C-alpha cells in the first residue's frame, strides 16, 4: 500500500506541496496570464508567502 501524497512528516509539519493550495493556484494563474514583471500579482505572491510562513516554511 502506498503512502498518501500529503503525509505529515515526523516533526508534524506537512509537506510544502500540501498547504496553501488556494493561494498557490491564484498566484500561479495570475503569473501565467500577467507575468511577474507586471506587478499585478504582488499581493497574491505576498499572500502565498504569508500562508507558507504560517506553516513554518521560509520563502524568498
4 lies in some domain: no
Q: Is 51 annotated as a binding residue?
A: no
In a domain, 15, yes or no: no
Q: What angle do CA 32, 24, 6 make, to 5 degrees?
A: 130
pLDDT for res 1: 44
Report if residue 13 sits inside a domain.
Answer: no
> Which parts of the chain sit beneath pLDDT 50?
1-3, 8
Dump pLDDT digits (tens) for 51-60: 999 999 987 7
Cα 40 off chain centre by: 18
Instruction: Give the pLDDT of residue 10.
Output: 53
**Would residue 45 count as lying in a domain?**
yes
> Would the pTM of this model clear 0.75, i.e. be above it?
yes
* Domain count of the fold of the chain: 1
**Model pLDDT, residue 2:** 47
Per the structure, the complete domain to which residue 25 belongs is given by 21-54
> Looking at the domain assignment, is residue 5 inside a domain?
no
> According to the model, what pLDDT value does residue 28 have?
98
Q: Is 6 annotated as a binding residue?
A: no
Question: Is there a domain that residue 47 lies in?
Answer: yes
What count of Cα atoms within 13 Å lies in the side-chain half-sphere of residue 8?
5
Q: Is 45 helix (H, G, I), strand (E, B) or coil?
A: helix
The answer for residues whose C-beta is within 8 angstroms of residue 5's C-beta and 6 or more apart is 17, 18
Domain-located, residue 35: yes
Amino acid at each position: 500500500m502506498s503512502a498518501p501524497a500529503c503525509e505529515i512528516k515526523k516533526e508534524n509539519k506537512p509537506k510544502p506541496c500540501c498547504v496553501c493550495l488556494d493561494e498557490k493556484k491564484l498566484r500561479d494563474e495570475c503569473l501565467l496570464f500577467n507575468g511577474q514583471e507586471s506587478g499585478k500579482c504582488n499581493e497574491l505572491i505576498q499572500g502565498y508567502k504569508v500562508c507558507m510562513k504560517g506553516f513554518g516554511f521560509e520563502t524568498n
